[in-house]
Structure 1
Amino acid sequence: MPEQQIAGRYELLEPISSGGMGHVWRGYDAVLDRPVAVKLIRRESVTSPALAVEFEKRFQREARVTARIQHPGVPQVFDAVLDQSFHHLYLVMELVDGVTLTKYLRPTPGEVAPSLPIGWAAAVAAQVATVLSWAHDVPVVHRDLKPSNIIVARDGTVKVLDFGIAAMLRTDVTKLTATGSLLGTYQYMSPEQIRKGQITPRADLYALGCVLHELLSGQLLFPGEGEYALMTQHVTQAPTPLRELRSEVPAGLEDLVLHLLRKDPGERPADSQEVYERLRPFLPAPGERPEPRGGVPRQMPDPTRLFRQPYAPRSRAAAPAPQPAPGAPAPAHPVPGLLSEELREEIREVHTHYDALMDEERFAQAAEVAGEMADRAARALGADHRAVLALRTRRAVSLLLGGDFRAALPEFETLAGAYARTVGPTGRQALDCRAQAARCRAELGQATEALADLRAVLDLIRTTESDVSEGAVVLRRDIAMLLLAQGKTAEALALLEPLHADLLVVQGPDDELTVEIADILAVIRFGPDLPQG
């Protein structure tokens, strides 16, 4: 079990990142059965119990203000928890599955940063400008906009992190930082912040100009070494025009970046709406094909997708790999490794942990626990080892019971193929996984495919087992219920009547399933105006 639990419900699972304001952990909300991000505000930010209590109150005020930014580009903040020692404040937030902009700029430490495609850079900046427009209307000024605070989610949505946290830690009001240092990151800090002048939304526009300059050129705006050198450059030095660093940057985009980077806030664009309008000519049109990725790694999400495919439906799941026909030679697989005693013990502990989580109906976390161990075991033993398949089966079951049918479907389909290879296509595990995959399809609205799959499994079960075996009976019931859902009442009745007769003989009239089928038959026969398919 996790070593630390916050407020009796939030568990810290693994560190994600560490930044100037604190450490971020992947966490788990035991009450709502969902993953969360938990940020631990640095200890030096909270130097006494009195300041800690004041800090918690300030956070709650700021969180209420931040919650008014009703935009999908702002991750939700769920909770603030002050521990009993009054030394730590934990912020519980929406966990975003994506890639920080830092990874786009520096995919591998030490490598020269690639220049993003023009449309990608414009799409990121346009989405950030949209978020800022909603924030500045509240008004909330971010104060620490930088690549590590910008995440591109898997669907291409840009998320801006840490709204409100900067305001909570500002030294001119709370005096909460131990060093009294300036708030912000020097590479992206506006001249007025460095001078400790009045902070307005245009400070965020300057930071956006720094980020956009870096996205387009692959270089920091100013290369100064050390805080003092960087601050001096931001206050006094003119930026290098982008077209001197990258000739294919459009002149209009260069002009916008130079406008954002004016030293005097009053000389910058009036607001983020103006910035967005000036970015529009460089954004892809709906239906336009994606730009070549160039040096961008394949795993990086494409931020132009929102503009090319606005309000597009979720991408279809990839079709499962075709399974070999019965009797065909199995494809070559790595020879499984030996199950060491150490690994055996780890797997045993995971199964115990999994069982405890399932008893508490913490399905999402149970799936994560089983999946992580399955991945580790597969690297050591091979993907088709029975211990790996058992873990993956448990993950699939917990996803199914948690209602995440979209994630459970490919798991069961993959397992069905693996069991077909290892125990044969008519083996119990292979057939069970095929049936569960079909049930997931039914839940996802793919009734026709689900019916075909369930009937195919039932035909295979009938070749090896009785028509009244447990597996066959459940499948007969499921097929009939799908037919009813499609309005094919006559076909359903033709299945349910012999099923009920079989259950009366095998299970008796008081059996739960017998009673269920009898009730369904009564509704079909005597219900008002039921269509007869």
Structure 2
Amino acid sequence: MGDVWRAYDTVLDRPVAVKRIRPQAITSPALAEEFAKRFQREARITARIQHPGVPQVYDAVLDEDSHERLFLVMELVDGVTLTSYIAPQRPLPVSWAAAVAAQVATVLSYAHDVPVIHRDLKPSNILVARDGTVKVLDFGIAAILRTDVTKLTATGSPIGTYQYMSPEQVRGGRITPQADLYALGCVLHELLGGQLLFEAESEYLLMFQHVNAAPTPLRQLRADVPAALEELVLDLLRKAPESRPADTQEVYARLLPFLPPPGHAPEPGEAVPAGAPDPTALFRRPYAPRARTAQSGGPAIGSGADAPAPPLVPPVLAEVNAGIEEAYEHSEALLEEERFAQAAEVLAEAIEPAARAFGSESRKVLGLRRNRAAVQLLGGDYRAALPEFETLADAYARISGPTSEPARACRAQAARCRAELGQVTDALAELQGVLNVVRNVDSDVSEEAVELRHNIGMLLLAQARTVEAREVLEPLYQDLCMVFGPEDETAVETAEALALIRLDLDGPAST
């Protein structure tokens, strides 16, 4: 029924998800009305479930007179749905699957407290973010539990996905939170067994199996599943709602024995799938600080992994050049509005085609990457800019020499990022190293040298190393007055810093 677009919040300069009704899905007035109601319900219900496992709704445009203007602006989650990790030949670790199920149960407990039932829980609606947080998506067909609730469907047919539909949903009976527990049982069975709970050639046969067929016990599919976990899954899949666990709190309690305790390192058999996020991390290190980022080591430019691109014909090269020019123009327009994150992404989108066309260490590609890193620095994204500047400095040193202007500039920018990230000692050492090079190849009062000397002096001052700061800033001020005059902006800033230093060192009488 809908499309999800990656978009930008132009006020707060952040990526968001925009969910809108697909116009071609509206084939009748009844469907149009149903979809409008679903969007309104999703906006209101999702906003009411206050849990980090439910993507936030930032805004909703619900124009009843125009179905072209029905959309939600939501949190953009960087992650992958469970569907990507399910494969018969690649069984998931028990703790991995249990951690996903425990997080989903937690989300459902908050939803059921509203009270809301999801009604369409399935792997494609469960996303694992990069940090291991599990997100439950798409409350668009959720039902608010109240006596006057009416079916949200224009056809009167059951709502949900047949592979995960509880027997009472299939029959069209009264829906309770136990329907979500049945769906969670289907999902957990699939995560551990690597295949759908029931498979059939038609929707009718699938519905028949959910109502009448017994599920295959998990230990018949893989022997390493603990007996108690198999029993929990079978209890979740009971045909009668009242025979299932009482609530999500009971499900969570029965999953606890299969979750790693705080501080517990993964066992050899608990390794997460290659490249997959680790949902057990939230239990191993609850409320942990974010992981430290590497000191350096951004993506290598021109590494051996880069396959040489085939030669491109002139029309294609012209198209790539036009794309580069358009990226620069677009990013500059965004910078004027201080939309730094989007400006950086616009430049990033031009890098890959440019690298294929001209080579990963071509002047055009390095220029795009340097501009993107500069935009990230301007926007305060120092963690992203630092490794990029360091990688660029190494590339320019190979191509143009370690004392070349671009190599020096990138090293200085990397040092400024380090200073902003609190790595002041390393930043000072790197800035001093660049300044020594500049002094050998240019004047001590060149624009580059003056900026470096000023950066060093102000960093020393910020560290309360006032004696050293004064030794740097006093000769700098004299040079600035002689070359540029005392009204120069940097000269004025340096004079103000020296006045503060004198107050600190000698007391008010000496000023």
1:30-429 matches, within 5 Å, as: 30-43=10-23, 44=25, 47-48=28-29, 59-60=39-40, 63-82=43-62, 85-106=66-87, 112=88, 114-167=90-143, 177=153, 179-292=155-268, 297-321=273-297, 340-429=317-406
Separation (CA, whole Å) in 1 of partners of 2:180 and 2:374 = 46
Residue 151 of structure 1: how far off its partner (Å): 0.9
Aligned partner of 1:445 in structure 2 is 422
Separation (CA, whole Å) in 1 of partners of 2:506 and 2:232 = 67
Aligned partner of 1:28 in structure 2 is 8
Shift in CA distance, 136/331, structure 1 to aligned 2, threshold 3 Å: closer
Aligned partner of 1:8 in structure 2 is none
Separation (CA, whole Å) in 1 of partners of 2:457 and 2:168 = 71
AA matched with 1:309: R
Separation (CA, whole Å) in 1 of partners of 2:355 and 2:479 = 43
Shift in CA distance, 208/520, structure 1 to aligned 2, threshold 3 Å: same
Separation (CA, whole Å) in 2 of partners of 1:206 and 1:435 = 58
* Maintained 8 Å contact 2:21/2:67: no
AA matched with 1:214: E
Separation (CA, whole Å) in 2 of partners of 1:287 and 1:294 = 15
- Identical positions, percent: 66
Separation (CA, whole Å) in 2 of partners of 1:354 and 1:293 = 47
AA matched with 1:273: Q
Residue 361 of structure 1: how far off its partner (Å): 1.6
Please give the secondary structure, in 2, of the residue aligned with 1:39: strand
Question: Alignment partner for residue 498 of structure 2, among 500, 518, 521?
Answer: 521
Please give the secondary structure, in 2, of the residue aligned with 1:397: helix
Separation (CA, whole Å) in 1 of partners of 2:180 and 2:360 = 49
* Maintained 8 Å contact 2:36/2:67: no
AA matched with 2:354: A
Aligned partner of 1:11 in structure 2 is none
AA matched with 2:158: L
Residue 411 of structure 1: how far off its partner (Å): 1.2
Separation (CA, whole Å) in 2 of partners of 1:177 and 1:322 = 51
Shift in CA distance, 366/86, structure 1 to aligned 2, threshold 3 Å: same
1:329-362 superposed Cα distances (whole Å, 9 cap, x missing partner) = x987866766822221221222222222222221
Question: Alignment partner for residue 431 of structure 1, among 395, 398, 408?
Answer: 408
Separation (CA, whole Å) in 2 of partners of 1:331 and 1:344 = 24
Stretches of structure 1 that go unaligned for 5 or more consecutive residues are: 1-20, 107-111, 325-329
* Maintained 8 Å contact 1:47/1:178: no
Question: Alignment partner for residue 495 of structure 1, among 472, 476, 500?
Answer: 472
Residue 130 of structure 1: how far off its partner (Å): 1.2
* Maintained 8 Å contact 1:217/1:242: yes
Are residues 1:512 and 2:492 paired? no
AA matched with 1:38: V
Please give the secondary structure, in 1, of the residue aligned with 2:15: strand
* Maintained 8 Å contact 2:83/2:123: yes
Residue 524 of structure 1: how far off its partner (Å): 2.1
> What TM-score does the superposition give when structure 2 sets the normalisation length?
0.90
Please give the secondary structure, in 2, of the residue aligned with 1:67: helix
Residue 503 of structure 1: how far off its partner (Å): 0.6
Shift in CA distance, 59/154, structure 1 to aligned 2, threshold 3 Å: same
1:130-173 superposed Cα distances (whole Å, 9 cap, x missing partner) = 111122112221111110111111111111112355349xxx96
> What TM-score does the superposition give when structure 1 sets the normalisation length?
0.86
Separation (CA, whole Å) in 2 of partners of 1:62 and 1:389 = 44
Shift in CA distance, 58/299, structure 1 to aligned 2, threshold 3 Å: closer
Separation (CA, whole Å) in 2 of partners of 1:306 and 1:315 = 13
Shift in CA distance, 323/394, structure 1 to aligned 2, threshold 3 Å: closer
Residue 473 of structure 1: how far off its partner (Å): 1.0
1:235-293 superposed Cα distances (whole Å, 9 cap, x missing partner) = 11111111111111100000000011111111111111111111111111223233557
Please give the secondary structure, in 1, of the residue aligned with 2:454: helix
Residue 476 of structure 1: how far off its partner (Å): 1.1
Residue 182 of structure 1: how far off its partner (Å): 2.4
Deviates more, 1:95-104 or 1:71-80: 71-80
1:64-100 superposed Cα distances (whole Å, 9 cap, x missing partner) = 4432322211110111224674345211111100111
* Maintained 8 Å contact 2:95/2:280: yes
Are residues 1:463 and 2:443 paired? no
User: RMSD of the TM alignment (CA)?
Assistant: 2.9
Deviates more, 1:36-45 or 1:351-360: 36-45
Residue 199 of structure 1: how far off its partner (Å): 1.6
Separation (CA, whole Å) in 1 of partners of 2:37 and 2:298 = 58
Separation (CA, whole Å) in 2 of partners of 1:50 and 1:250 = 46
1:401-441 superposed Cα distances (whole Å, 9 cap, x missing partner) = 11111111111111111111111111111111111111111
Residue 311 of structure 1: how far off its partner (Å): 2.3
Separation (CA, whole Å) in 2 of partners of 1:77 and 1:26 = 14
AA matched with 2:399: T
Separation (CA, whole Å) in 2 of partners of 1:460 and 1:192 = 76
Shift in CA distance, 391/49, structure 1 to aligned 2, threshold 3 Å: farther
Separation (CA, whole Å) in 2 of partners of 1:57 and 1:493 = 68
AA matched with 1:248: D
Please give the secondary structure, in 1, of the residue aligned with 2:116: coil
Separation (CA, whole Å) in 1 of partners of 2:42 and 2:79 = 25
- The count of corresponding residues between Structure 1 and Structure 2 is 497
Stretches of structure 2 that go unaligned for 5 or more consecutive residues are: none
